[in-house]
Amino acid sequence: MITKRPAEHGVDSAIARQLESGFPWLRFRKELEPAYRDEHFERNRKFVRVTLIIGFLLSAAIFLLGRVAVPSVSTPLADGLRYGLLTPAFVVTIALSFLSGKRGLFRRVLLVTALIIALSHVALNLMLPAELRQLAFAGLPVVIVFVFFALGLFLQTALMVGLLMAAGYAAGAFLLGIPPGQLGYSVAILLATNVICAVGSYVLEHAMRLRYLESQLLEEMVEKDGLTGLYNRRAFDRYLESAWAIARRQRSPLTVMLADIDFFKAYNDHHGHQAGDECLRKVAGAVSRVARRPLDFVGRYGGEEFIVALFDVDLEAATDLAERLRNHVAGLRLPHRASKVAQTVTISVGVAVVNPAETARSLEGVIQLADQSLYAAKRQGRNQVVVEEAAEAMIQTGVFKSL
């Protein structure tokens, strides 16, 4: 189990901060909770499907057995609940569990189904003759356990359904004139079952959330640079493959910037490696300021080189952002007495703008084009930006064309 603080992991992120602060109310920060809920329901989809099928078959078997053994339990209203409401709820929810693209709808229908299961069983119990009602009551706590642990619901949701079930039973039993002593005892049983299930559910959900955070943090530790906290090249390769597919599907441009600290080796030799590390951290902070949208990416590409990827940014906007990036770094005013272009730390930036839907070139080509642009910026004197589009580059260079 991971128990270190974020600083000790070398990663400072929303995941690491959530681990440090804890989650006693079983809820993550707003930037983490939606992703966890999606992952939770996707992970539990097959399990919930199986438990729904089992629950449906058991309910059907109990209904048929009761109809044969005690014909009086079958009334038009009871059969309407069993076959007109409860059975369709099971069938629809089971069917939706097979549709991975309907995740949000599945979650909403699952909640409705949980309410139908809980309240239908309460209603069916109260419809029984008085001599059978108390005997059949033993099944209601089982239904509460089913709601808490078989449907993949979060604690707050399951507890709401369980309490509504107890309240529904109390209201119905009161209207039927069930003796107060018997009513109080039955409601106490239902409430006690809710409490016991809530405690077990809390422990289980807390463990699941902790495991999720730890697994996400381990991924970040593998994919983030320990010195700057930015993503590393491995993470960029994974990102670019996904972003390329999205950009091609949406026919949107994709911009990649490569930024290199000018004369960084000379900086290290003159100021020392400790100062060099601090320089890298500060430049990383400046670079990250240009990539703040959800689909944007910023990382350390290796050594003193940084990479920025921007989704749906055209040539003009890419040029403006690259210049802004260069100015952010210049604005740090970090002394660089060994530089041949300025007395402070500067960067050279190479930019490639490609629309994947309009070119047959590979995604590796956009990186190679950005690298060529960076080389051109250095060749032309450094501390500047060079921007190229794929269409222009295919005319001007045969290297990108051959990819």
Residue 327 phi/psi, 5-degree rounding, is -70, -35
pLDDT > 70: what percent of the chain? 92
Q: What is the mean pLDDT of the chain?
A: 88
Is residue 1 in some structural domain?
no
User: Are 290 and 207 found together in one domain?
Assistant: no
Q: Which long-range contacts (CB under 8 A, 24 or more apart) does 216-222 make?
A: 216/15, 217/2, 217/9, 217/11, 217/13, 217/15, 217/16, 217/19, 218/2, 220/11, 220/13, 220/15, 220/16, 221/9, 221/10, 221/11
Q: Which of 161, 187, 221 is the last residue of a domain?
A: 221
* 88/86 Cα distance (integer angstroms): 6
Which tokens belong to 156?
A: 């707050």
* 5/7 Cα distance (integer angstroms): 6
User: Are 333 and 286 found together in one domain?
Assistant: yes
Question: What band does 249 get if pLDDT is binned at 50, 70 and 90?
Answer: confident
* 161/20 Cα distance (integer angstroms): 32
Is residue 226 in some structural domain?
no
Least Cα distance to 386 among 299, 336, 322 occurs for: 322
Please give the average per-residue pLDDT across 280-285, as a whole number: 94
DSSP secondary structure letters along 107-148: HHHHHHHHHHHHHHHHHHHHHS-HHHHHHHTTHHHHHHHHHH
Please give the average per-residue pLDDT across 281-309, as a whole number: 89
Q: Pick the residue with more confidence: 350 or 78?
A: 350
Q: Which of 221, 252, 280 is the last residue of a domain?
A: 221
Is residue 151 in some structural domain?
yes
Count of domains forming the chain = 2
Q: What torsion, rounded to 10 degrees, do the Cα atoms 25, 26, 32, 37 define?
A: -140
Domain assignment of residue 25, given as a range: 6-221
Given a cut of 80, whether residue 12 has pLDDT beyond it is: no
**N-to-C CA span, the chain:** 45
pLDDT tens digits, one per residue of 81-128 = 988 999 999 999 999 999 877 888 999 999 999 999 999 999 999 998
User: Are 211 and 316 found together in one domain?
Assistant: no
Is residue 343 in some structural domain?
yes
User: Are 194 and 245 found together in one domain?
Assistant: no
Please give the average per-residue pLDDT across 372-391, as a whole number: 90
User: Are 267 and 154 found together in one domain?
Assistant: no
Going by the DSSP 8-state scheme, the letter that residue 344 receives in this structure is: B
What pLDDT score was predicted for residue 397? 40
Question: What band does 398 get if pLDDT is binned at 50, 70 and 90?
Answer: very low
**For the stretch 46-81, what's the b/e string if a residue is b when 16 or more beta carbons lie within 10 angstroms of its beta carbon?**
eebbebbeebbeebeeebeebeeeeeebeeeebeeb
**Region class of 191: left (phi > 0), else alpha (psi between -120 and 50), else beta:** alpha
Which tokens belong to 359?
A: 């070119």
Given a cut of 90, whether residue 283 has pLDDT beyond it is: yes
Span of 159-168, 194-203, 389-398 with lowest mean pLDDT = 389-398
User: Are 126 and 167 found together in one domain?
Assistant: yes
Given a cut of 80, whether residue 9 has pLDDT beyond it is: no
Instruction: Report helix, strand or coil for 348.
Output: strand
Q: Name the helix (H) or strand (E) containing 389.
A: strand 385-389
Is residue 318 in some structural domain?
yes
Question: What band does 389 get if pLDDT is binned at 50, 70 and 90?
Answer: confident
Is residue 141 in some structural domain?
yes
Which residue matches tokens 């400790």?
274
User: Are 172 and 252 found together in one domain?
Assistant: no
- HSE (CB half, 13 Å, CA atoms) of 12? 6
Is residue 242 in some structural domain?
yes
User: Are 19 and 91 found together in one domain?
Assistant: yes
Is residue 329 in some structural domain?
yes
* 189/173 Cα distance (integer angstroms): 14
Q: How many residues does the chain have?
A: 403
Given a cut of 50, whether residue 70 has pLDDT beyond it is: yes
Q: Is the separation of the CB atoms in 298 and 288 below 8 Å? A: yes
Q: Which of 221, 250, 272 is the last residue of a domain?
A: 221
**CATH code of 354's domain:** 3.30.70.270
Please give the average per-residue pLDDT across 27-39, as a whole number: 90
pLDDT tens digits, one per residue of 322-362 = 999 999 999 999 999 999 999 999 999 999 999 888 876 67
What pLDDT score was predicted for residue 381? 94
